[in-house]
Amino acid sequence: KRLKRLLLWILVVYISIPLIIKLCPSIQAKLVFLNFVRIPYFIDLKHPSDQGLNHTCNFYLEPEVGLKIGVWHTVPAQMWKEAQGKEGNWYDSTFSSNHPVILYLHGNAGTRGGDHRVQLYKVLSSLGYHVVTFDYRGWGDSDGSPSEEGMTSDALFIYDWLKQRLDKMPLFIWGHSLGTGVATNLVRRLCDRGSPPDALILESPFTNIREEAKSHPFSMVYRYLPGFDWFFLDAITANNIRFASDENVNHISCPVLILHAEDDGVVPFHLGKKLYKIASQSKSLSGHKVHFVPFSSSLAYKHKFIYRSPELPNILSKKCKYGEVENVRNHSSL
């Protein structure tokens, strides 16, 4: 009898979840963004030095009146000593230095201070890049509520803010996971207005949010349920969430570099490869290099540890020079 009751409760819960999501599609939006999941929980975003980034400045900008978003600017490691004790004005002045800039767009959950994100900032800084990152509205200590349109607008605002401070140094856009959807949205807008970035780097990208949601491990128990699309995927669309990178690449005109680990358990490898195939056939990308760099499962980089690759500096330095699909297979992690 206890076993029957347990099975009955499991069945009730199994049936109830799709019904609840269909009736309350805002729940599905929260599951896409996961902005309420703040890991690590006790980090003080005002003090990036607590995360080992003592050449990083925290500040706030207003993409809209009354809407504040938190931003970090990490200078190249070569400026580490000079950065000690400096304030925002000094950091602002460093954009005139002879170093390229990466605008980093993070994925869902956590904040700009997430550990794997911090480790990537350190790697990019050591390679001589300025790294500018921020929390979208609704994330971290930024105001507002999340939406695809809001995330894209915030990214566009930060990009324009950077361009006003840069002379002729390259400005690259790097998106990770859900941030790749924001990145392609942003670059499409930039290309539509005739001002593409110097390059677009997509780490662990997907084609569009519906395909990603269907491939996500959390959907496994419902994937073959009749009406899965109606219950779950249509609820995402009802929230105006698309992140259609597979459409965006047909409107992008700048070099594209895609990085994806074969053992990625969050965004399946086949989605990154599918996006690459679509991009490589895009008419708007004709004449621009489109690179795909897979990382072998034996390296165990999974969804968020590509920064550990000792090949990353070489990959970035050659991103506009090679045209073939490059395999990174037999290198130990840092």
What residues are labeled active site? 177, 264, 303
Give Cα 47 distance to the centre of its chain. Answer: 22
**Are 83 and 49 a contacting pair, CB within 8 Å?**
no
Smallest CA-to-CA distance from 130 within 156, 102, 97, 159 is with 102
Q: Is 134 helix (H, G, I), strand (E, B) or coil?
A: strand
Note the residue count of the chain: 334
Residue 245 phi, psi (nearest 5): -65, -30
Distance separating alpha carbons of residues 198 and 166, to the nearest angstrom? 13
Residues with Cβ < 8 Å from 65, sequence gap 6 or more? none
Bond from prior residue into 205 cis (ω within 30 degrees of 0): no
CA distance 80 to 208: 39
Q: How many CB atoms lie within 10 A of CB 56?
A: 22
Using an 8 Å Cβ cutoff, are 288 and 323 in contact?
no
187 is written with which tokens? 């670059």
Task: Tell me if 146 sits within 8 A of 35, measured CB to CB.
Answer: yes
